[in-house]
Amino acid sequence: MTLKRPTQSAAQVSPQTIWMLAVRDQRDKAAFAALFDYFAPRLKGFVMRSGARSAMAEDIVQDVMLTVWRKAAQFDPARAQVSAWIYQIARNRQIDVIRKESRPMPELLEVEPDAECDASVIVEVEQEAAVLKQALAQLKPGQRDIVERAYLGEFSHQEISAQTGLPLGTIKSRIRLGLERLRHELKELR
């Protein structure tokens, strides 16, 4: 699979990323409201698919969106697009509510505040996500269902050890990109 070289144009950056950066850098409430309109129904659907009732699901949606506002400084569009970042917040909140556990997270890598993030870097991250989206869309329905259940956190113990279900092949190019990014960021930190 080959990717087109991204152009320098900021116009290709998704609206979600633009809203998220406005929330992060300008504390822009209108941009937050736009993020809410986009993500709240998706979050509610996501949470309800793992069994939460409507009222509890809305509590989780609200908590997740408030965390998006409060932890916006941790959002780094050069490493993950908005939905990936929000996915993690949503799973953490679910685990907190359902299992009453605080999920251990990897150490944060610092987002360099002055480093003006090149739009082409953001576009590249988003294009990788688009490739992944396509790969998931092309799975057979049964397989896609397994993948969805896995990301909803419904991996059985057996599935974990048997390593079935996840199309690791489909995330390989994303892994490569992530690795390049991390090496780059760590080099700048050290």
Q: State CA 87 to chain mean position distance.
A: 5
Instruction: Provide the minimum distance between the beta carbon of 69 and other proteins in the complex, in angstroms, as a whole number.
Output: 6
Determine the Cα–Cα distance for residues 59 and 119; give it in Å rounded to an integer. Answer: 35
146 interacts with other proteins by CB under 8 A: no
Residue in 111, 121, 146, 171 binding other proteins, rule: CB under 8 A: 171
Burial status of residue 24 (CB atoms within 10 A of its CB: 0-12, 13-18, 19 or more)? buried
153 interacts with other proteins by CB under 8 A: yes
161 interacts with other proteins by CB under 8 A: yes
48 in Cβ contact with 54 (< 8 Å): yes
- Secondary structure of residue 57 in the 3-state scheme: helix
Q: Which residues contact 74 (CB under 8 A, 6 or more apart)?
A: 85, 108, 111
Stretch that binds other proteins, among 2-10, 84-92, 111-119 (CB under 8 A): 84-92
17 interacts with other proteins by CB under 8 A: no
Cα–Cα distances in Å, from 47 out to 42, 43, 56, 68, 147? 9, 6, 9, 16, 16
79 interacts with other proteins by CB under 8 A: yes
97 interacts with other proteins by CB under 8 A: no
Query: Is the CA virtual torsion 178, 181, 185, 190 positive or negative?
Result: positive
Instruction: Provide the minimum distance between the beta carbon of 113 and other proteins in the complex, in angstroms, as a whole number.
Output: 17
19 in Cβ contact with 31 (< 8 Å): yes
Residue in 4, 8, 142, 163 binding other proteins, rule: CB under 8 A: 163
Residue in 31, 90, 119, 123 binding other proteins, rule: CB under 8 A: 90
112 interacts with other proteins by CB under 8 A: no
24 interacts with other proteins by CB under 8 A: no
111 interacts with other proteins by CB under 8 A: no
105 interacts with other proteins by CB under 8 A: yes
